[in-house]
Amino acid sequence: MQLNFAGKHKVFIQNIQYSIESNSCFVNILRLDEIHPLISGNKFFKLQLHILAAINTQYSTIATFGGAYSNHIIATACYCHQLGFKSVGIIRGEEPAQKSNTLLQAEAFGMQLIYVSRELFKEKDKVIRSFKDENYYWVNEGGYSRLGAEGAADICSWIDGSYTDIVCAVGTGTMMAGLIIEAKPHQKVTGISVLKGNEKLIESVTDLLTDEEKKKHFELMDGYHFGGYAKHPEALLDWMNLFYHQSKVPTDLVYTAKLCYAVNDLLQKGYFAPNSKIMIIHSGGLQGNNSLPAGRLVF
């Protein structure tokens, strides 16, 4: 069974010229979005060790959680389909009259979707217990766990010691924890939160780290959520178009647009030391833009 079907050959590193004068920093972006259109960017990395564990423990079904627009759900469905696993998605909220693209595609990959109320969705243990007779390998929402983070740590194999800074978007914090695990001692990992006012988020990151890893350099930035998770005011969409014109990098409205915008802003504010070499992680997620009217984005 070939786990690493994505290969590493399609991923590439691209230079970005932010139009900021007197800035001596050098910025590259790691195009993990190129791995696969649906098993997008970081989801592949966060899932890989879970899937390996499921194989090693003889499970044939992966079950996980997510919302109707979850990149994690679609990635799990597609990845399992490719590997011949069955998959079950526990979806937050009632079954919608009009299913999102994400749910339709997940179903097309054979994922069994089970809708649970928003209240019950919060009680994951209870949900898991209700399926105790099934032989499911459970993966947390967003792949959140030490195993998910260790899988994400592989992303650092593209980031050599010449980089001083690594910057990523943060949802559950799994990817950020993975980057911290593998970052070199002189490197700083900066996470851009896409959530509004989640004070516990930094704890979610540090809970996945050992005491030694907690001493490494990292910082979580608030204030780039544009109104909250998945909120996308016109100004953000306009900026995505502008950024694409300048850099030819497509971004998604939930994560990477806010990430790339934040790097621009942090450069202007002098957040990075002079002559820093910065790697932005393009973690994928582009299929999320399908919820926009056709033509709103130029890419």
Ligand X SMILES: *Cc1c(COP(=O)(O)O)cnc(C)c1O
For ligand X, the closer of residues 54 and 151 by Cβ is: 151
Q: How far is the CB of 22 from ligand X (least distance, A)?
A: 30
Q: What share of the chain is helix, strand, coil (3-state, %, to 5)?
A: 40, 20, 40
Concatenated DSSP letters for 159-185?
Answer: --TT--EEEEEESSSHHHHHHHHH--T
Alpha-carbon dihedral sign for residues 176, 283, 250, 277: positive
Distances, alpha carbon 111 to alpha carbons 74, 114, 290, in Å: 9, 9, 20
Based on the shown chain and the rule CB under 6 A, indicate whether residue 174 belongs to the binding site for ligand X. yes
Cβ-contact 149, 52 below 8 angstroms: no
Contact 191, 63 (CB under 8 A): no
Should residue 171 be labelled a site residue for ligand X when binding is judged by CB under 6 A? Answer: yes
Beta-bridge partners for 220: 191
Interface with ligand X, residue 142, by CB under 6 A: yes
Contact window for ligand X (CB under 6 A) among 5-13, 23-31, 129-137, 168-176 = 168-176
Q: Which span sits near ligand X by CB under 6 A: 53-61, 92-100, 122-130, 169-177? A: 169-177
- Angle at which helices 71-83 and 41-56 cross, to 10°: 50
Using the contact rule CB under 6 A, the part of the chain among 11-19, 109-117, 126-134, 166-174 near ligand X is 166-174
Residues 204-263 that bind ligand X (CB under 6 A): 252, 255-256
Q: How far is the CB of 170 from ligand X (least distance, A)?
A: 5
Is residue 71 within the footprint of ligand X (CB under 6 A)? yes
- Report the distance separating Cα 71 and Cα 15, nearest Å: 26
Buried b / exposed e along 109-141 (16+ C-beta atoms within 10 A): bebebebbeeeebeeeeebeeeeeeeebbbbbb
Site for ligand X in 32-51 (CB under 6 A): 40-43, 46
Q: What single-letter DSSP state applies at residue 133?
A: T
Q: How far is the CB of 17 from ligand X (least distance, A)?
A: 23
Binds ligand X (CB under 6 A): choice among 172, 187, 247, 287:
172
Question: What is the nearest approach in angstroms of ligand X to the Cβ of residue 252?
Answer: 6
Question: Residue 50 in contact with residue 294, Cβ under 8 Å?
Answer: no
Q: Which stretch binds ligand X (CB under 6 A): 159-167, 181-189, 243-251, 282-290?
A: 282-290
Candidates 25, 63, 68, 175: give the one binding ligand X (CB under 6 A): 175
Binding segment (CB under 6 A) for ligand X, from list 48-56, 57-65, 110-118, 170-178: 170-178
- Comparison of 89 and 284: residue with beta carbon closer to ligand X: 284
Candidates 46, 74, 2, 50; CA nearest to 281 is: 46
Choosing from 169, 189, 260, 278, the residue that interacts with ligand X (CB under 6 A) is: 169
Which run of H or E residues covers position 114? strand 112-116
Shortest-Cβ-distance residue relative to ligand X: 285
Phi-psi region of 218 (alpha: psi -120 to 50; beta: other; left: phi over 0): beta
Q: Which stretch binds ligand X (CB under 6 A): 108-116, 182-190, 230-238, 280-288?
A: 280-288
Query: Taking the complex as a whole, how short is the minimal distance between the CB of residue 134 and ligand X, in angstroms?
Result: 26
Please report, as ranges, the residues that interact with ligand X according to CB under 6 A. Answer: 40-43, 46, 71-72, 142, 169-176, 252, 255-256, 283-285
